[in-house]
Amino acid sequence: MTTVVNGVTLASEPLTRNNRARSNIDVVIEFFSLYLRDKERFYALWVDDEPEVLTPYVANDVATCQIGSHRGWAAVRAFWDPIHDDMQGRFDWYIDGVIPGEDPDVVVVRSHSDVDVRTRGVWGDKHLSYQGRYVQIFRFEDGRVKSFEEYYDTAQLNAVYGA
Rounded Cα distance between 79 and 76, Å, is 5
Whole-prediction pTM:
0.90
User: Is pLDDT above 90 for 10?
Assistant: yes
CB 70 within 8 A of CB 60: no
DSSP 46: B
3-state helix, strand, coil in the chain (%, to 5): 30, 45, 30
pLDDT in tens, 117-141: 999 998 889 998 988 899 999 999 9
Q: What is the percent of the chain where pLDDT is above 70?
A: 87
User: Is pLDDT above 60 for 66?
Assistant: yes
Specify the higher pLDDT residue, 99 or 154: 99
As a whole number, mean pLDDT of residues 51-63 equals: 73
Residue 97's closest CA among 107, 105, 106?
Answer: 107
Residue 10's closest CA among 141, 110, 122, 130?
Answer: 110
Residue 162: pLDDT band by 50, 70, 90 thresholds? low
Q: Name the region of 142 (left: φ>0; alpha: ψ -120 to 50; beta: rest).
A: left
The pLDDT value recorded for residue 22 is 97
Residue type, 162: G
Specify the higher pLDDT residue, 159 or 144: 144
Secondary structure element (H or E) that encloses residue 78, with its range: helix 73-86
The pLDDT value recorded for residue 152 is 78
As a whole number, mean pLDDT of residues 10-19 equals: 92
- Least confidently predicted of 108-112, 149-153, 158-162: 158-162
CB 87 within 8 A of CB 96: no
- Least confidently predicted of 6-20, 62-76, 100-114: 62-76
